[in-house]
Amino acid sequence: MTAGFAIVDLFAGPGGLAEGFSSFETEGGIRPFNVALSIEKEKSAHQTLRFRSFLRQFGKHIPQNYYDWLNFGGAEPDWKALYPLQWEAAEEEALCLTLGEQPANRIIADRVSAIRKAHGRNTVLIGGPPCQAYSLVGRARNRGIADYDAAQDNRHFLYREYIGIISQLEPAAFVMENVKGMLSSTVDGVRMFDLITDDLRTPTDTQGYELYAFAPKGSSGPAKGTKPSDYVVRAEALGVPQARHRVIIIGLRRDVAAALERQSKPWRRPSHPRACAADVLDGMPRLRSGLSRQKDDGASWAKALANACDAVGAQNPRLEGDQEQAFRKCLSDVRASLETAAKLPRQAGKPAGIGSTCPLALAQWLRDDRLTALADNETRGHMPSDLARYLFAAAYAFATGQSPKASSFPAGLAPAHRNWDSGKFADRFRVQLRDQPSTTVTSHISKDGHYFIHPDPAQCRSLTVREAARLQTFPDNYVFRGNRTEQFVQVGNAVPPFLARQIAEALWEILSAPQLNAEQFASNPLLETVIA
């Protein structure tokens, strides 16, 4: 059995993939995946990545002053001065560099060469090239740019930097993640997915990889993909409280894949029960929203929400029977709670609980018994007119079990948006339903909260960074650097760590098998040739 595998993480963001891999433990309590190098170009995301790397240096024994800082607040300790060796190791591991540029490529090549020398081919490459050029929203935006030429857009081809590291590192396995729009993106009539998978299978003339889909429909575990849609992973089917659909491609070096094919047991994937938004949002502090463009205090907020109740109550919600009664009762309950709600803070770390209905494995993953407070949990300010729309949407969802479309909004609550009646943004104000996985948490949450309205009508607000992080399954002790907008971008762009952990577990089952002992392959080229 191998002693472990070194992880190289490209386009790492705040470290969602690496968190899942580095946190995976065997039944014996050993963590076999160790992050050797992570690369991220965005400054605040890199700061988050580096700080998490710093904490990993302590293993399961994170210093108490870290928890004191999170639980009780106050000035942040000078970690570099207190723990210079651990900080130096984090700076060595997490680099702020842009792949595809010099001198970054030379620095990365030298580091990869050193990792290859130290670990042989006992390595795993993870990461997801930037998705703006593949996403449906990004492509729509590009079409609006005069003289836009996809063939000249470097973002379409950043995956080649990933391919280049594969050819140099020759990892036992790799994991590439991207948006679902990657499947339909084309450049000069060539489908990008076909181009990318062809390059992934043969990164060099001498080394090849077999590609596997992690969760193809009808399979109990990863299997070779037979069509592009096989590679779409539906996170909600794997215990993540979010309907996040992403392309995940797993590559196994051909000697590893050949041995896998000879195994009698199937390649299983972990199984987790379905989780909903309420499972992870319940137990968190109740907060009020802020008020933008005017005085913001509890009394002003209560007055603004009372006005919102009047505005919504005066409209015809176009509901009937029990649904209309439930809608009206919801408004009445919100009005009755105003005095209490006005005393709610905009920022609160306590309590740090979690819903009693949350599946045990997910609750254990998110919670840290040493935490009594939650970081990064401050509400945004909203305009009074938007408070009325949020209230209508939340009350509508409470009554019907569905988030309202634009066509469901009364004319008196419609915003002055040019495309409001076009049908293009039918769910511009979207409530996250309590008893359903949330919709996909994206970086757009950084711009406004309209797509991410809290399910509790009385709080009448959008989600906080920590609430979004819980839907993304970041552990509660994971701190995000940067301002709130930058934190939202990091959370929205990340791979859910709970999902990443499941990929790590499935990979370890294969890579740790005696007949797949990568150290043996690396030390005996003849054996490798025979197996291949």
Predicted confidence (pLDDT) per residue in 402-413, tens digit = 999 999 999 999
Terminal Cα-to-Cα distance of the chain (whole angstroms): 19
Mean local confidence (pLDDT), 511-531: 49
pLDDT of 230 higher than 90: yes
Q: Distances in Å between the alpha carbon of 132 and those of 48, 411, 442, 465?
A: 21, 35, 12, 22
Q: How far apart are CA 51 and CA 46, in angstroms?
A: 8
Of 436, 458, 499, the closest CA to residue 177 belongs to 499
Asked whether residue 97 falls in the same domain as residue 194, the answer is yes
Asked whether residue 35 falls in the same domain as residue 163, the answer is yes
Confidence class of residue 417 from pLDDT cuts 50, 70 and 90?
A: confident
Asked whether residue 67 falls in the same domain as residue 210, the answer is yes
> Where in the sequence is the domain holding 156, given as residue range(s)?
5-275+494-531
* Position 28 in a domain: yes
Higher-confidence position of 149 and 372: 372
Asked whether residue 347 falls in the same domain as residue 261, the answer is no
pLDDT of 254 higher than 60: yes
Of 138-147, 234-243, 381-390, the range with the lowest mean pLDDT is: 138-147
Asked whether residue 330 falls in the same domain as residue 270, the answer is no
For residue 230, which amino acid is it? D
pLDDT of 1 higher than 70: no
* Position 487 in a domain: no
User: Please, are residues 172 and 253 in contact by the beta-carbon 8 Å criterion?
Assistant: yes
Asked whether residue 93 falls in the same domain as residue 140, the answer is yes
In this prediction, residue 2 carries a pLDDT of: 44
Mean local confidence (pLDDT), 66-77: 96
Mean local confidence (pLDDT), 444-464: 93
Asked whether residue 233 falls in the same domain as residue 324, the answer is no
In this prediction, residue 131 carries a pLDDT of: 55
Residues 6+ apart with CB under 8 A from 131: 138, 178, 179, 181, 182
94 membership: H or E segment, kind and range: strand 94-96
* Position 473 in a domain: no
- Phi then psi for residue 82, to 5 deg, are -75, -35
Residues 6+ apart with CB under 8 A from 513: 259, 263
In this prediction, residue 133 carries a pLDDT of: 53
Q: How far apart are CA 13 and CA 15, in angstroms?
A: 5
User: Please, are residues 288 and 461 in contact by the beta-carbon 8 Å criterion?
Assistant: yes
Mean local confidence (pLDDT), 243-248: 96
pLDDT of 526 higher than 70: no
Bridge partner residues of 169 (DSSP): none
Of 309-318, 325-334, 389-398, 509-518, the range with the lowest mean pLDDT is: 509-518
Two structure tokens written together for 453: 């309205």
* Position 512 in a domain: yes
* Position 192 in a domain: yes
Asked whether residue 244 falls in the same domain as residue 283, the answer is no
Q: Percent of the chain scored above 90 by pLDDT?
A: 73
In this prediction, residue 144 carries a pLDDT of: 47
* Position 369 in a domain: no
pLDDT of 529 higher than 60: no
User: Please, are residues 327 and 396 in contact by the beta-carbon 8 Å criterion?
Assistant: yes
Asked whether residue 144 falls in the same domain as residue 127, the answer is yes
Residue that the structure tokens 């050797």 belong to: 36
In this prediction, residue 291 carries a pLDDT of: 93
pLDDT of 141 higher than 70: no
Two structure tokens written together for 57: 């240096």
Based on the structure, what is the number of domains in the chain?
2
User: What is the overall mean pLDDT for the chain?
Assistant: 89
Of 122, 91, 112, 217, the closest CA to residue 161 belongs to 112
Residues, the chain, total?
532
Q: How far apart are CA 490 and CA 451, in angstroms?
A: 17
Asked whether residue 111 falls in the same domain as residue 256, the answer is yes
> Where in the sequence numbering do the catalytic residues fall?
131
Q: Distances in Å between the alpha carbon of 319 and those of 64, 291, 316, 408?
A: 54, 30, 8, 10
Q: How far apart are CA 275 and CA 207, in angstroms?
A: 41
In this prediction, residue 530 carries a pLDDT of: 30
* Position 489 in a domain: no
In this prediction, residue 70 carries a pLDDT of: 96
Asked whether residue 401 falls in the same domain as residue 456, the answer is yes
User: Please, are residues 87 and 80 in contact by the beta-carbon 8 Å criterion?
Assistant: yes
Confidence class of residue 152 from pLDDT cuts 50, 70 and 90?
A: very low
Per residue in 308-347, is it b (16+ CB within 10 Å) or e — as a string?
Answer: bbebbbeeebebeeebeebbbebbeebbebbeebbebebe
Alpha carbon 315 to chain centroid, angstroms: 38
In this prediction, residue 514 carries a pLDDT of: 61
* Position 366 in a domain: no
Mean local confidence (pLDDT), 76-87: 98
In this prediction, residue 517 carries a pLDDT of: 55
pLDDT of 111 higher than 90: yes
Q: Distances in Å between the alpha carbon of 459 and those of 250, 286, 463, 468, 504?
A: 42, 7, 10, 16, 38
Confidence class of residue 153 from pLDDT cuts 50, 70 and 90?
A: very low
Mean local confidence (pLDDT), 268-297: 93
pLDDT of 518 higher than 50: no
In this prediction, residue 175 carries a pLDDT of: 98
Alpha carbon 342 to chain centroid, angstroms: 32
pLDDT of 286 higher than 70: yes
Residue that the structure tokens 């490529």 belong to: 105
Mean local confidence (pLDDT), 385-401: 96
pLDDT of 519 higher than 70: no
Of 164, 175, 174, the closest CA to residue 204 belongs to 164
Q: How far apart are CA 397 and CA 235, in angstroms?
A: 23
Two structure tokens written together for 199: 């390059």
pLDDT of 90 higher than 80: yes
Mean local confidence (pLDDT), 30-57: 97
Asked whether residue 505 falls in the same domain as residue 396, the answer is no
Mean local confidence (pLDDT), 261-283: 88
Domain of 251, CATH number, reads 3.40.50.150
